[in-house]
Amino acid sequence: MTTRDLDHRDRCAIVGAGRTDYSSRSGRSVLSLATEASLAAIADAGLEPNDVDGIVRCDFDVVAHNDLAHALNLPNLSYWGASGPGGSAPSGMMAQAVGAILSGQATTVLVYRSMNGRSGFRLGKGRLQGQAGAIGGNGSYEEFFVPYGLVSPGQMWAMLAQRHMHTYGTTQEQLGHIAITCRERANANPNAQMATRGLSLDDYLSSPIISTPLRLPDYCLETDGACAVVVTSAARSVDTDKPPVLIRAIAQGAVQGMQPGLASPALMREDPLSLPSVTVAKRLYQRAGMGPEDIDVAQFYDCFTITVLVQLEDYGFCQPGEGGPFAASGAIGKGGSLPINTSGGNLSDGYIHGMSHIVEGVLQMRGESTSQVPDAETCLVTSGLPIITGAMILRKAA
Amino acid sequence: MSELDLRPVPCTDDPDTGGFWEAAARGELAIRVCSDCGQVLHLPKAYCHGCGSWNTAWQVVAPTGTLYSWTTTERELRPGFVPPYTIVCVELDDAPGVRLVGYLDGRPQLESGMPMSATFEVAQGGVVIPQWQPA
Ligand SMILES: [Zn+2]
């Protein structure tokens, strides 16, 4: 058996994608949101719920696989799995779907993320909000962070941004260009939460500070909503309604100085500015037989603007330390060399913990995006940082 | 009830991390190191990934360091922490690459690389928490 026989390149496809409306108060259960997004993805593929025999979820989702199987009535369920932590999940969830299909454990896998992220549990206030008594222990290591007021991923990313500024001369204006770019894409997307609200550089620079040096538009939009996609084998995908979008390659990875937890422990790594996206980029491009020069459009996980900036470097679109000038150059805008986050992203469309990035990648590869990149044939989609991460390359079927 | 009473205290009796808080109670900073190969194990853990040993010890280090980064938080995220407040991330002089965080009131003037020194704050219930301030 050769290496080629073992790999997953172009052997599975996304055949359906769905989402609910995004809002700050859905007034509905997280299970109802998951059900609606799943039904939309299944219908988009021209399939019936009964065709689904696999489900993969995010470890932070309050909807369990069997909860969703109950809602959809899936008696043929034969595979389920979960990935995480949190926003790093979507690429790992897709990797499990591909693994299940290629190993014969499932034929048609539903991958979803559902959250009342604004009206319900707000991740921006930290995972341990409301927990009484002594904090930490049991391998959580939160005793080194929460008692000091370091409770939220935004504060950790703010410290990385400050260090990036110190080390490389990155500026607030350069971060602002990422927020503005995502807002411009949202302004073209009637479904985005920021569809009708513009953002100029002056607006950005006069917006309130949340945690220095990050301002309100540097932060994603805590959102109520859900997204789902349906994955099947490339062979079966020819029978579905829409043009299949091939999964060219997926990769997950860690980094030297591995740390536990969700976000804050990244500060305890030997070099906190060295992120797992470097490892994942190398592995992903190798598996895809591609390089950054082959990517036509990218959906970068954007919990914060700084998160995008470091990934521009790590995925090879500019040199280490040059993420700021690259972001400000116009390269990431519509008509640039690497248009990014074409639905508006976490920052201006809605924060569905990285699943909306996959949905938008599918739309780009079908030519259906509200900010369609002409002739785009490949899309990079990344998932959350900074402890571990994952990414995938989607490709238009020939 | 004061704001300080609302501040969460650390778990101090975890088998992996408890030695840090025991040292703090004595007014010392300690990091966990492998007794066989000297590998620093931070965040603290019982197994040495460097040599495979389970023999570890708590090594007292100087309560001094340099400022790696900081952020001043202007929004209330959790009761007990009234904005504005500042979180500092300090790299230890005695253990390069090993960092700890601290809390400071308000918006202190700080710069990367400045010298910092540890203080030992007695929090709710008598728990001692190492903190950092400009030296
Ligand atoms: Zn050792």
Provide the percentage of residues in chain A whose pLDDT is more than 90: 92
Domains of chain B: 11-61 (2.20.28), 63-135 (2.40.50)
Give the span between the Cα atoms of A35 and A227, in whole angstroms: 10
Q: What is the pLDDT of residues A147-187, one digit of tens each?
A: 999 999 999 999 999 999 999 999 999 999 999 999 999 99
**Inter-chain contact A143–B101, Cβ cutoff 8 Å?**
no
pLDDT band at B33 (very low <50, low <70, confident <90, very high): very high
What is the mean pLDDT of the segment spanning B121-130? 94
Min CA distance, B25 vs chain A (Å)? Answer: 15
pLDDT band at A257 (very low <50, low <70, confident <90, very high): confident
Two tokens, residue A342: 């074409």
Please give the residue that has the higher pLDDT: either A45 or B2. Answer: A45
Spatial CB neighbours of A95, under 8 Å, sequence gap ≥ 6: A83, A250, A252, A390
Residue B98 CA to ligand 1 center (angstroms) comes to 17
What is the mean pLDDT of the segment spanning A218-243? 95
Question: Strand A378-382 and strand A297-299: pairing?
Answer: parallel
Please give the residue that has the higher pLDDT: either A2 or A278. Answer: A278
CB A108 within 8 A of CB A52: yes
Phi, psi of A181 (to 5 degrees): -60, -45
Min CA distance, A150 vs chain B (Å)? Answer: 7
CB A34 within 8 A of CB A110: no
- Answer yes or no: is pLDDT of A34 > 90: yes
Question: Strand A214-215 and strand A209-211: pairing?
Answer: antiparallel
Q: Which residues of chain A are within 8 Å of residue B71 when distances are taken between CB atoms?
A: 155, 158-159, 162, 211-214
Q: Which residues of chain A are within 8 Å of residue B102 when distances are taken between CB atoms?
A: 148
- B40 C-beta neighbours (distance < 10 Å), count: 20
Spatial CB neighbours of A315, under 8 Å, sequence gap ≥ 6: A277, A281, A292, A295, A298, A380, A382, A391
Q: Which of A26, A260, A51 is nearest to B41 (CA)?
A: A260
What is the mean pLDDT of the segment spanning A94-102? 98
Q: pLDDT value at position A1?
A: 45
What is the mean pLDDT of the segment spanning A3-19? 88
pLDDT band at A2 (very low <50, low <70, confident <90, very high): low
- DSSP secondary structure, A329-388, as one string: TTTTSTTSSS-B-TT-HHHHT-BSTTHHHHHHHHHHHHT--TTPPTT--EEEEE---SSS
Q: pLDDT value at position B1?
A: 57
Give the span between the Cα atoms of A258 and A376, in whole angstroms: 36
Catalytic residue status for A301: yes
Please give the residue that has the higher pLDDT: either A382 or B5. Answer: A382
**Inter-chain contact A162–B10, Cβ cutoff 8 Å?**
no
Residue A6 Cα to chain centre, angstroms: 26
Nearest to B81 among A124, A149, A267 (CB): A149
Q: What is the pLDDT of residues A315-355, one digit of tens each?
A: 999 999 999 999 999 999 999 999 999 999 999 999 999 99
Give the span between the Cα atoms of A310 and A168, in whole angstroms: 11
Residue numbers of B between 106 and 135 with CB closer than 8 Å to A = 112, 123, 129, 131
Q: Does A387 touch chain B (CB under 8 A)?
A: no
Nearest to B69 among A148, A159, A265 (CB): A159
Give the span between the Cα atoms of A27 and A224, in whole angstroms: 9
Two tokens, residue B115: 């010298």
Q: Does B9 touch chain A (CB under 8 A)?
A: yes
Q: What is the pLDDT of residues A283-298, one digit of tens each?
A: 999 999 999 999 999 9
Two tokens, residue A127: 């995972």
Q: pLDDT value at position A252?
A: 97
Q: pLDDT value at position A168?
A: 98
Nearest to B99 among A131, A146, A268 (CB): A268
What is the mean pLDDT of the segment spanning A250-262? 92
Report which residue type is found at B81: F
Nearest to A267 among B10, B73, B89 (CB): B89
List, in sequence order, every residue forming a beta bridge with A57; answer none if it has no partner: A82
pLDDT band at B50 (very low <50, low <70, confident <90, very high): very high
What is the mean pLDDT of the segment spanning A27-31? 97
Spatial CB neighbours of A292, under 8 Å, sequence gap ≥ 6: A281, A285, A315, A316, A317
Residue numbers of A between 248 and 267 with CB closer than 8 Å to B = 259-260, 264-265, 267
Q: Which residues of chain B are within 8 Å of residue A141 when distances are taken between CB atoms?
A: 17, 43
- What's the length of chain A? 398
Give the span between the Cα atoms of A148 and A142, in whole angstroms: 10
- Answer yes or no: is pLDDT of B3 > 90: no
- C-alpha distances (whole Å) from A124 to each of A211, A268, A382, B77 are 12, 21, 20, 8
Residue B34 CA to ligand 1 center (angstroms) comes to 5
Give the span between the Cα atoms of A165 and A144, in whole angstroms: 25
CB A173 within 8 A of CB A213: no
CA angle A318, A303, B98 (to 5 degrees): 75
Per CATH, domain A4-116 is 3.40.50.2000: no
Catalytic residue status for A351: yes
